[in-house]
Amino acid sequence: MKYNNPVIKGFYPDPSACKVEDTYYLVYSSFQYFPGVPIFESKDLINWTQIGHCLTRKSQVQLDTVDSSGGVFAPTLRYNNGRFYMTTTNDTLRQNFYVWTDNIYGEWSDPINVDQGGIDPDLYFEDGKAFFMSNGIDDYGVSGIVQCEIEIETGHKLTPSRSIWQGSGGRYLESPHLYKMNGRYYLLAAEGGTEYGHMVTYARGDSPTGPFEAYTHNPVLTNRNLGGYELQGVGHGDLIQDHDGNWWLLHLGFRQTGQYLTYHHLGREVFLTPITFGDDGWFTAGHEGTTLLSFETDRITDTIVQQEKKEFTFENTDWNLDWCYLRHPVTANYQLEADKVKLKGTSITLDVPASPTFIGIRQKDFNAIISCEVSLTSGEAGITLYMDENHRYDLALRKHLEGYEIIERLNIGDIKSIEHTKSIGQCNHAALIIKSTPTHYHFYAQIDGIETLLGTAQTKYLSSEIAGGFTGVVIGLYATGESQDFNATFTNFSCIYS
């Protein structure tokens, strides 16, 4: 069959997977968003459905005042003796920890901390032992991939942290994962930085503690030399074996807004690439070491059809799965119903690293029509295309002394400007519409069935290349302005991709 990449679109970076019986499970980074660490499941590796989050309680993760792209970094998901483990880093606190559950559809434990630095932690289980790895500096001052043995019940270190591999020479050695395959131990990593030079490298050895011999032809996977190809930034992956014994790499990458336009604003997404072992026990990846936007393969039967959801509404999404908050929300400010949401604004705006009244859903593709009807009694409410506090576009309804107006606000770094306004008198209701292309957003207001273009803004100013950071655009519904009651009601939300 032919399948298309990415297999999960939008801001879902740093994937890590495990297989239990006939089901694959996958987790991702969530940074400053809550709930933390989304969980997806699949039966075929190409069709994925979200089933929950690992971090759903304030006691599990500290996100207050976390800057954008801070908070929860790359997780690893593993299964051992009937129990799931997810280990990750709260980078703002520089703390590695893990949580566990016996029911992946239920709640997870409170965190168990590990006294080892670095980021991108990994867990490997063998013969009753648990090995913990991260990137960083070991107890002897040596940098690289650092490993110790821990007591899994408590997180206490049983051995000193020791650097076991220094990579292939690329910068930012990270994302370690350890596997036993065909009687040998394989250590997978990422190098080059999660940008255009990103790559997957690996080494192998005869013991889980090393020494490890690097693959001669590292990097095993990278798109760094594919100029003029939409898919870039390939790296940070996890190996998974399918039902038939084939190996695959689930990894991140990003799509440029155009063939030679080196900007991306959807975030880092999830790609699936086949792995092939040679007779010498070393493996290669993808098409001559690169990842493609589509692969022809006989590893997946033609009876499986790759599905893609094209329309997202209040009615066909789940508030607890598809939507997210900025940091820990004040739940009293949200009234979530099957066909609408009511928001209570506060003095906290989208300009600060706090928790404004905001609920968002990830933008999943370039071409889209985003629309929602908004009613307002006071303050301001509308749709924001949110990259971070300093990089976002707002289309909103606002009350002022003479009545109501619709505004288009652009926030680009230190420049925050209301570009266009449209007065609507005493009418406190409007339909807000954003039409998205790869390179531009177009902002419309619809009053009494008449659609008016307010303005246009380039998508590149919400890209990682300009904004920095590790996230992607989230389509947010928000309200500001202190009120005793709910001051904004949103109905008829729709995001349609083409």
Query: Which CATH number covers residue 349?
Result: 2.60.120.200
Q: What does the block give as tokens for 118?
A: 């670095």
**Of 44, 91, 174, 408, which is the active-site residue?**
174
Q: Evaluate whether residue 304 is within a structural domain.
A: no
Does residue 302 form part of some domain? no
Q: How far apart are CA 443 and CA 407, in angstroms?
A: 10
Q: What is the total count of domains within the chain?
A: 2
Cα within 13 Å of Cα(16), Cβ side = 32
pLDDT at position 484 is: 87
Specify if 136 maps to a domain. yes
Distance of CA 421 to the CA centre of its chain: 34
Bond from prior residue into 211 cis (ω within 30 degrees of 0): yes
CA–CA dist 66, 32 (Å, integer): 6
Q: Is 14 a catalytic residue?
A: yes
- pLDDT of amino acid 150: 98
199: left (phi over 0), alpha (psi -120 to 50) or beta: beta
Which one, of 359, 362, 354, lies nearest residue 344 by Cα? Answer: 359
* Residues 245 and 343 reside in one and the same domain: no
Return the pLDDT at 132: 98
- pLDDT in the model for residue 483: 86
Q: Tell me, what's the pLDDT at 8?
A: 98
Q: What is the largest CA-CA distance in the chain?
A: 77
Annotated catalytic residue 127 = no
111 plus 81 within the same structural domain: yes
* Backbone dihedral angles phi then psi of residue 8, each to the nearest 5 degrees: -135, 120
Single residue among 261, 296, 331 that ends a domain in this structure: 296
- Do 398 and 256 lie in a common domain? no
pLDDT digits (tens, 9 = 90+) for 338-390: 999 999 999 999 999 999 999 999 999 999 999 999 999 999 999 999 999 99
pTM flag (> 0.85) = yes
First CA to last CA distance, the chain: 23
How many whole angstroms separate alpha carbon 50 and alpha carbon 56?
Answer: 14
In a domain, 305, yes or no: no
Rounded to 5°, angle at Cα 178 from 201 and 144: 60
The 8-class DSSP code of residue 195 comes to S
Quick one: CA dihedral 144, 149, 152, 153, positive or negative?
negative
- Cβ proximity of 448 and 349 under 8 Å: no
Full domain range(s) for residue 35: 2-296
Question: What are residue 206's DSSP bridge partners?
Answer: none
The per-residue pLDDT for 97 is: 98
Sign (positive or negative) of CA dihedral 155, 158, 160, 162 = negative
pLDDT tens readout for residues 59-77: 999 999 899 999 999 999 9
pLDDT score of 448: 87
Q: Note whether 287 and 343 are same-domain residues.
A: no
Q: What does the pLDDT read at residue 449?
A: 87
Low pLDDT (below 70) residues in the chain:
none
Among positive and negative, which fits the CA dihedral 130, 135, 141, 142?
Answer: positive
Residues 324 and 361: their CA atoms lie apart, in Å, by 6
Kindly report the backbone phi and psi dihedral angles of residue 460, in degrees, each rounded to the nearest multiple of 5, phi listed first: -65, -25
Does residue 331 share a domain with residue 259?
no
